[in-house]
Amino acid sequence: MTTEALEGLRVVQTLVANPRQWRILLCLMNGPQATAALAPAGTSNRWWLTLGALWGLWRHRLIVFHVKQRVWTLSPTGQSLRPVFTAILACTHTENGG
């Protein structure tokens, strides 16, 4: 991992409070997503947890909601952390035998 990615990881760790927020950020790496797509499967009765996670990320300006399209995307700040997310995905892929 590069020095820039490590510094980015430290910054993200101070802003991202829980695993649900990490999952949302990693999902948004693939492009815009609707709120329903960001909620874990089978947890429709806990949608408020996803909304709370989205609120926290939005408050830290890591994500943006586009009203007309009804989708969430990474903000410019979130986009700047893409190397961190890529490194996390690479580590996860390696740990899972990929």
Q: Mean pLDDT for each consecutive 10-residue tract of the chain (98 residues)? A: 67 79 89 88 72 92 95 92 80 64
CATH number of the domain bearing residue 60: 1.10.10.10
pLDDT, residue 42, reads: 60
pLDDT, residue 63, reads: 95
What is the amino acid identity at position 48?
A: W
pLDDT, residue 83, reads: 83
- The answer to whether 88 and 16 have CB atoms below 8 angstroms apart is no
The per-residue b/e assignment along 64-88, b for 16 or more CB within 10 angstroms, e otherwise, is beeeeeebbebbeebeebeebbebb
**Does an H or E element contain 9, and which?**
helix 3-15
pLDDT, residue 96, reads: 62
Number of domains in the chain: 1
Our measurement of the distance from residue 63's CA atom to the centroid of its chain's CA atoms, rounded to an integer in Å, reads 8
DSSP states of 32-93 as a string?
-B-HHHHSPTT-GGGHHHHHHHHHHHHHTTSEEEETTTTEEEE-HHHHHTHHHHHHHHHHHH
Containing structural domain, residue 27: 3-95
